[in-house]
Amino acid sequence: MLAVVLLLAVAPVQAFRTLNTVTPVNNKAQWDFVLADSAAKNRTVIAEFGAVWCGPCTALRSWVQQMSDKYNDLHFVAVDVDDVKEVAKQYNIITMPTFIVLQDTREKERASGAIKSRLEALFHKYSKY
């Protein structure tokens, strides 16, 4: 019991945030649900548009998961442009990966490419942490 109390007393606050996961979006209905649910919860969405054949997208996969854990107040989703063509067309996705920040279902900002420092600055800008 004493060890638990001591651990709680010295552990950093950030360690107690729950881990997040990147939500795969496989169809338009799922996309619409993610946006509506996030808007209802006042949660910012970070949508990563990519494809399984995209080398930079594949290379970033584990790093994006780490960012999702670090910035767990944001809702990270992965949209495969080949599986959800309607959504990719709606957001005019040409370059991959493309990350779009959405708040209350509206696009606020986007970044394309795999420059981690630039992407993390974007995530940090919209995070509470």
Residue 92: left if φ>0, alpha if ψ -120 to 50, beta else—which one? left
CB 97 within 8 A of CB 49: yes
Which residues are known catalytic residues? 54, 57
Torsion sign, CA atoms 24, 27, 30, 34: positive
- Count CB-CB contacts under 10 A for residue 69: 15
- Give the DSSP letter of residue 97: S
